[in-house]
A and B are shown apart, each in its own frame.
Chain A
Amino acid sequence: MNAPLRKASVVILVLFGLLFANLNWVQAAKGEEYRTHERNAFRLRDVEYGKQRGNIEVKAAGVSTEAVALSKGTDGRLRYQREYPFKDVYAHVIGYKPVYNTASSVERFENAYLSGQSDELFTDRVRAMFTGEESAGGNVLLSISKAAQETAYQQLKDNKLGVKVGAAVAIDPATGGIQAMVSMPSFDPTQLASHTKKDADAAFAALDGDKTKPLLNRAVADTWPPGSVFKVIDSAAALEAGRTPETMLKAGPSYVAPGTTHEITNASPSVCPQDQISMIEALTVSCNTSFSRLGVDLGRDVIKKKAEAFGFEDEALTCGNLKENNGLTVASSHVGEVANADGSEDKAAMAQTAIGQKDVRMTPLQGAMIAAAVANDGVQMRPYLVERLLGPDRTSTHYTVNPEELRRSVSSDVARDLQKMMQSVVVNGGSKSAQVPGYDVGGKTGTSQNGITDNHGWFVGYAMKDGKPISAVAVFLEAAGDGGSAEAARISGQILKAVTAERAGK
């Protein structure tokens, strides 16, 4: 039996020879390819965490800034631990930087700069090599205002209706810089950045599995029917078509669009029961019947075109760094098809679309951008978060934002008429709680039905002083029920107050 045993031992040698050869192939010949494969990048994290990652900072009082994400030295193997001192407050804006997973928000799209790998920081790296200093990542300064963000977070969290889901956005109409961005429920990024994989995984699993989706940034990533907020767009289209705020519109307790039996009514019988109402008055009391009729009169194409001029149907919008054109992906807001099966205009759908129902869907950011365009004399600025990139030593600035015009939504004449109408809403309508003493505040509430839960509450508005826009906001409260839009208006007022107070103090 020895001859076959010897042959078996040769077979084993051959099999092991194949293993040796293949290991050489995998580790030596293909090693470089596997090592540098894009999906293998996070293996380089020892190098990444051996360097101090830069801060993410927001604007505090005056010209000072405050770090909302920073890295501190540890005695562990990964030498720097990412910390988020304000926990839930800035979570959706700055995101999180986990060791074992992919980062999100600013931590994601400014990763190259924060971690010190970007081209801008090349000279810093070379200098560090020669001086022997430890090289570090660069710092990212956001357009976020600490006062506005904290007010928005606190007010939204402690809303008087006990609503758990919502969002708030504040934007500088003149530049497009985001002043506040809050999504509710929020989360604490601290545990996600834990160096202990078990803890980080557990924290992520808990948040990811939560039915209320705390990781979702509702300010930009989800859409809801805007309800009466859409009447601002109807108004803009009507003004452009030659009507004025004083033009009389047909009103009444109900309106039935051609080709349907569906009756459009008002929020309550006391709203515009009369036959005729001026357009400014119709917006102020939020008269559904007159705006539905106006929408049908103007027609689908006119309304859709105007909505697009305000940013609807924009599939490519991001909100982050203007130069790199990267950032948070903003979900596209839609008007809907408003079409019959043969493609012709569905007038019944149009009647509902004109009051922000049917298939109209909008992100809270889109809501703020409507108000911002009105306040900025009809020009909509491209929204951004990153204002400046500051080198590791804080002496060199690698980038300063150069605000960009995104589109002209309406002419400045129409914008001024819209301002007049929206201010009437706040002064004479039901949104007095949005007022900021000493400032011209305009806005529009929205209460949208979704057929499943209680009505959603919306408010979009802005504050101006001496004809100059200061801030535009949108507040959204999901399934808020009665009083939702009033509470949204009140929260908007608080955010506007925080921004104006900060500006005045400067």
Chain B
Amino acid sequence: MPRLKIDSTKRRNSELALLALALLLVLAYSATVEATMLDTITPDFWVPTAALAGVFLALHVVVRFLAPFADPVLIPAAALLNGMGVGFLRRLDLDDVSGVAEAADRGAFAGVGGRQLAWTLISVILAAALLVLIRDHRNVSRYSYTLGLGAIILIMIPAVLPAQYSEVNGAKLWIRFGSAFAIQPGEFGKLALVVFFAFYLVRKREVLSLASKRFLGIDFPRGRDLGPVLGVWMMSLLLLVFVKDLGTALLYFGMFVVTLYVATERSSWLIIGLVLFFGGVFLAYYLGELVGGPFANFYDRATVWLDPFGDIDGDGYQLVQALFAFGTGGLFGTGPGGGSPGIIPEVQNDFIFAGMGEEIGLFGLISLLTLYLIIVERGLRAALDVRDSFGKLVAGGLAFTLGLQVFVIIGGITGLIPLTGQTTPFLSSGGSSLMANWMLVAMLLRISDAARRPLASGGGLAAAPGGKPAPQQLHGAETEVIRP
């Protein structure tokens, strides 16, 4: 198949070219930061970018051989975001460095930026390993129940752990090992949950979309089929209350409703979902106002959102500092290294977009947002193109969740919606988030490879190179029969 080969090579070459461009931008960014902050460029300024280049190239090579038809834009877009994140965190470290000599003496892995660089290397290698291990995305469905159970455990652990082991800045999203190291299990739980949802819904879609009662002109599903949906809704609200985190709750719930909607093609699910979620949110708001207690946190956040300048030294402080940073950045920003991100609380985590916004301005932020949009829309594209339902739901669910997460955190720190703690994918400092997001990219690469691979003669998919033939039917996924 000579034509086929040319196609994939072309695609991989454009990936390589885009990756080179992304790395060049990261290199230029690092140089500008040092020139601005230190008035000179240290001889080793290129080392972090070179380390990134090495590991991204390795991923590219793995993709070239094991997923040759994969979407060529995914890796460069994620790499550019990740590289800018590392560059910005290194820039934050420079705030605490006095003088050029100390800056030059720092190793590539020193400080928060250095740690992020190390996590990036690990995460990208993990993504590559995932591509090596999973030659066909459908194989993942074999572990769906394990993943589903694992997801619930991962998500619930921080909620039930005592606060001292699970709370960072008021959000119980962590498992802490001492003061130095903490993981955010929810980041991985999210991925596992999408896989489980996809598997569950492939089995249930007939039941859910056909058996229904008509009420007020809308088809509603049967009560017994609503169980899991209400279960997840309850879980979201419990998270909202106990994890004190609206963003995470919104994320899980949005994820489930959208995969449900995609699986059943029934807009009634969207309506039910929206009504339940906003109903829950309003309830939480008024309960917070009336009884406080576990609802107080959400009420406070909503109050800050409505008027951030009302309590400028208290609850509104974070958001106001972020708005100042955005405003100071204006259209073009103060230039890399030219701003004062150090005064924004949590600038290395939740507020990294605000810190960057001051320095790269509206145009820079729009570019970063566009990169996210590209990854999300390319993921949805893969979902459209892939032939099996499981692949569609996994790719669609993952891509949509990523987009929703970006919306929740960026919307939060720009005052569009109430602020809730979420990591900014590929940018925020932290290993859990990076690993999970690169695993997500690996899954999208795998599915987009399957989607774009030409059909072999005989109607089935051409087997992935080196892989075993994939199961023709989903493992244990026979469609349920409707009983009247």
Chain A residues with a Cβ under 8 A of chain B: 1-9, 11-13, 15-16, 18-20, 22-24, 26-28, 30-35, 37, 39-40, 42-43, 45-46, 75-77, 100, 194-199
Contact = CB atoms under 8 A, between A and B. Distances in A.
B268 interface: no
Interface string B376-418: 1100100110000100110010011001101100110011100
A39 B326 contact: no
Contacts of B396: 1, 5, 8
A23 to B, nearest CB: 6
A27 B96 contact: no
B326 A34 contact: yes
A199 B343 CA distance: 15
10 contacts: A4-B261, A5-B396, A11-B400, A16-B403, A20-B369, A27-B362, A30-B323, A32-B327, A75-B39, A77-B37
B380 A12 contact: yes
Given A8-B400, A196-B97, A40 B380 contact: no
B411 A12 contact: no
Chain A binding site: helix, strand, loop or mixed by DSSP?
A: helix
Given A35-B327, A43-B340, A196 B96 contact: yes
A310 B36 CA distance: 57
Given A1-B393, A16-B403, A33-B327, A22 B411 contact: yes
Contacts, number: 154
B394 to A, nearest CB: 12
A34 B96 contact: no
Interface stretch (B73-81, B126-134, B328-336, B439-447): B328-336
Contact of A35 (B95, B330, B376, B393): B330
Contact of B357 (A6, A27, A43): A27
Nearest to A79: B39
B446 to A, nearest CB: 18
Contacts of B376: 12
Contact of B410 (A8, A19, A197): A19
A30 to B, nearest CB: 6
B411 A34 contact: no
Interface in B328-376: 328-331, 337-340, 342-343, 357, 361-362, 365-366, 369, 372-373, 376
A42 B323 CA distance: 15
A11 B326 CA distance: 26
5 A-B pairs with least C-beta separation:
A34-B327, A27-B362, A12-B403, A40-B324, A4-B262
Nearest to B413: A26
B338 A46 contact: yes
A418 to B, nearest CB: 48
Contact of A34 (B312, B324, B338, B400): B324
A424 to B, nearest CB: 54
A8 B392 contact: no
Contacts of A75: 39, 99-100
Interface of B: 36-39, 95-100, 258, 261-263, 265, 312, 320, 323-324, 326-331, 337-340, 342-343, 357, 361-362, 365-366, 369, 372-373, 376-377, 380, 383-384, 389, 392-393, 396, 399-400, 403-404, 406-407, 410-411, 414-416
B258 A8 contact: yes
Contacts of A37: 324, 327
Contacts of B320: 39
B264 to A, nearest CB: 8
Given A8-B258, A196-B97, A77 B369 contact: no
A8 B416 contact: no
A14 B342 CA distance: 32
B380 A23 contact: no
B98 A195 contact: yes
Nearest to B357: A27
Contacts of B416: 18-19, 22
Contacts of A16: 369, 372-373, 403, 406-407
Contacts of B337: 77
Contact of B265 (A1, A42, A77): A1
Contacts of B342: 100, 197
Given A28-B331, A39-B324, A77-B39, A100 B258 contact: no
